[in-house]
Amino acid sequence: MASIARNFLEINERIQAACGRVGREANEIRLIGVTKMVPVERIREGIEAGLRILGENYVQEARRKIEGLSDLSVSWHFIGHLQSNKARLVVEAFDWIHTVDRESLAREIDRQAHRRGKPVPVLLQVNTGQEDSKSGLPPEELLPFFERLSSWDGLDVRGLMALPPYYDDPDQVRPHFRRLRELLQELRERSATPEKLSELSMGMSHDFEAAIEEGATMVRIGTALFGTRPLS
């Protein structure tokens, strides 16, 4: 099995190269290690190699890992589809939520944030490919949704997230990455605090270099870091 430390080094070298091609600095990019179905001991290897942000899709799986890694200083990002009835658990356990895509969920996160006494950094998820199988706001609904959320001080909206259609050729995904960047710019133009809207969570193991070249600030990488995982 390939060394996680070696994978981590190679991914960071690829991030640096992608940044260099478009005149960006590598420190603009945050690498999120996607740990779905990854055992705690392998996650520890990633942290020992330098990984500092972990992304989880499922609340119960994540809570076991957060407890098992509580001796280490890492940031936990929730990157999966979130049901409103799980919002309390996620607000309590995670530092960021990437997948806010409907008002009922946003209201519950806001409510739980007020109970905790601290706003939650969130990203709004956009379904750029408008695929029925994926969550996320249709692009045309993003701006009114953002404007409704703007007065809810339990939500600290920091940018956008997308899970575009899969293509073997990363260049075919570029229009979706570009569209998300354009949508973020539209929000910035309408926001009273545009400087806070700085994050684009897009790009995974097979296409993160294209995502960086199109403006990603967070890339979510699992397989390229931890290797192939079981399907269930």
Contact 105, 154 (CB under 8 A): no
147 token code pair = 């404007």
Q: Looking at residue 84, what DSSP letter applies?
A: G
Alpha-carbon distance of 54 to 66, in angstroms, equals 10
Using alpha carbons, select from 34, 75, 46, 42 the residue that is nearest to residue 220.
34
Per-residue confidence (pLDDT) for residue 1, from 0 to 100? 47
What pLDDT does residue 208 have? Answer: 98
Residue 107 CB neighbours (<10 A): 17
Element of type H or E holding 170: none
Q: What is the pTM of this model?
A: 0.95
Tokens 């809207």, located at residue: 197
In sequence order, the β-bridge partners of residue 31 are 219
Task: Scan for tokens 């199109």, then name that residue.
Answer: 214
3-state secondary structure 30-42: EEEEECCCCCHHH
Q: Give the pLDDT confidence score for residue 109 in this predicted structure.
A: 98
225: amino acid identity, one letter: L
> pLDDT at position 231, please?
56
Residue 113 host element (H or E): helix 103-116
CA–CA separation, 53 vs 29, rounded Å?
12
Tell me the average confidence (pLDDT) per consecutive run of 10 residues in the chain, 232 residues long: 88 98 98 96 96 97 95 97 96 98 98 96 95 92 96 96 94 97 97 96 97 98 89 54
Residue 216's nearest CA partner among 30, 17, 11 is 30
